[in-house]
Amino acid sequence: VTSATKEHLLQIGEVADRVGLSLRTVRYYEEVGVLTPPTRTSGGFRLYGDDHIAQLLTIKQMKPLDFSIEEMRELLEARAALETSTSARRRAAARETLERFAALAADRCTDLRKRLRSAETFAREISKEAQAPD
Amino acid sequence: VTSATKEHLLQIGEVADRVGLSLRTVRYYEEVGVLTPPTRTSGGFRLYGDDHIAQLLTIKQMKPLDFSIEEMRELLEARAALETSTSARRRAAARETLERFAALAADRCTDLRKRLRSAETFAREISKEAQAPD
DNA sequence: TTGCTCCTCACGTCACGTGAGGTGGC
DNA sequence: TTGCTCCTCACGTCACGTGAGGTGGC
């Protein structure tokens, strides 16, 4: 899928370290189809390239927004389509998907802000309660 | 455990409605011991009082902070001890627990702020990408 | 050959969701 | 008696964690 230019390939341990995920998590993302399968050594060791790292970083960015695996897959697919597809129709569709996700992300931000306010209130309440004389 | 003054008791459906949780979730909280078991009708229907509602509201407040069930149980226990126990030692211990949770809650707030910033960045990036001409 | 890294099952976990099949109570 | 609400299993789900037992590659 990628260019044949020799890029330095990484084993799963290096990759996991670099993006801050567990080995299991990296394998899981491949298993559910959100991370494109890496090449393998003849012995079966996974070898990842720069595009895999990029995918994983995107996934990691989406996690704090509570996006599901299915949603991550959709976004990564749209992004890949924008990078590689030459069909105008496909590119337009991909753009639309990205727009949809931008809106969704904005909604999640609103949710997070609400959560934060509620959390701050809770923290204050508990602190007061601990210090109340009674 | 509570006073014998006649309080208007509620069935689980009313309770779930009022606090915004599912029936299953309310039963689950009882099952894992974070919600004190309600009284029952002779036919087995659960009847909840005001203290149950208060507990559930506290639980609901803790959820956006990603507290585990175990942590919720601990905080509710400390809070109950502060309300009912007359032992000075127990009250002091309960206060300490609450202090600990106040600090924990503050940490979670910091995490949420970080998440929010990361989320905002992501939303901006996606929006830009969708509009980029290329 | 010794380590260290990797491999694939496969079962466990947390916080519930979702029926199935059956009863209570106004 | 009819509905509507409730009951208890019990299996499913999502995103992984956690061994078990076995091999690759410098």
How does pLDDT run across A85-94, given as a tens digit for each residue? 999 999 999 9
Q: Taking 80 as the threshold, does the pLDDT of residue A6 lie above it?
A: no
- In angstroms, how far is C7 C1' from B130 CA? 39
Cβ atoms of B74 and B97 within 8 Å: the answer is yes
Alpha-carbon distance A101 to A99, whole Å? 5
Strand boundaries in chain B, DSSP class E = 39-40, 46-47
Task: Report the pLDDT value the prediction gives residue B57, as an integer from 0 to 100.
Answer: 97
Q: How far is B31 from chain A, CA to nearest CA, in Å?
A: 25
Task: Report the pLDDT value the prediction gives residue B7, as an integer from 0 to 100.
Answer: 76
Q: Taking 50 as the threshold, does the pLDDT of residue B25 lie above it?
A: yes
Q: How many CB atoms lie within 10 A of CB A58?
A: 18
For B47-82, give one letter per residue: b (16+ CB within 10 A) or e.
bbbebbeebbebbebbebbebeeeebbbbbebbebb
Residue B1: pLDDT band (50, 70, 90) is very low
Q: What's the pLDDT tens digit per position in B80-133?
A: 999 999 999 999 999 999 999 999 999 999 999 999 999 999 999 999 999 987
For B111-127, give one letter per residue: b (16+ CB within 10 A) or e.
ebeebbebbbebbeebb
CB contact under 8 A, A130 and B102: yes
Quick one: closest CA in B to A86, which residue? B134
Q: Taking 60 as the threshold, does the pLDDT of residue A25 lie above it?
A: yes
Size of interface A-B (CB pairs under 8 A): 90
Task: Report the pLDDT value the prediction gives residue B3, as an integer from 0 to 100.
Answer: 46
CB contact under 8 A, B127 and A75: no
CB contact under 8 A, B105 and A95: no
Contacts of B65 in chain A (CB under 8 A): 115, 119, 122
Q: Taking 50 as the threshold, does the pLDDT of residue A1 lie above it?
A: no
Contacts of B76 in chain A (CB under 8 A): none
Residue B2: pLDDT band (50, 70, 90) is very low
Q: What token pair was written down for A96?
A: 């639309």
Contacts of B106 in chain A (CB under 8 A): 123
Which residues are within 8 A (CB) of A29 and not within 5 positions of it... i.e. 6 or more apart?
A35, A56, A59, A69
CB nearest B112 (choices: A75, A82, A115): A115
Task: Report the pLDDT value the prediction gives residue B101, as an integer from 0 to 100.
Answer: 96
Q: Taking 80 as the threshold, does the pLDDT of residue B5 lie above it?
A: no
Average pLDDT of chain A?
Answer: 93
Task: Report the pLDDT value the prediction gives residue A3, as an integer from 0 to 100.
Answer: 46
Q: What's the pLDDT tens digit per position in A49-70?
A: 999 999 999 999 999 999 999 9
Alpha-carbon distance B80 to B74, whole Å? 10
Q: Does B115 touch chain A (CB under 8 A)?
A: yes
Termini Cα distance of chain A: 69
CB contact under 8 A, A106 and B116: no
Cβ atoms of A56 and A26 within 8 Å: the answer is yes
What's the mean pLDDT in A8-21? 97
What share of chain A has pLDDT > 70, as a percent? Answer: 95
Alpha-carbon distance A77 to A23, whole Å? 23
Contacts of B119 in chain A (CB under 8 A): 64-65, 105, 108-109, 112
Task: Report the pLDDT value the prediction gives residue B134, as an integer from 0 to 100.
Answer: 67
Q: Taking 50 as the threshold, does the pLDDT of residue B6 lie above it?
A: yes
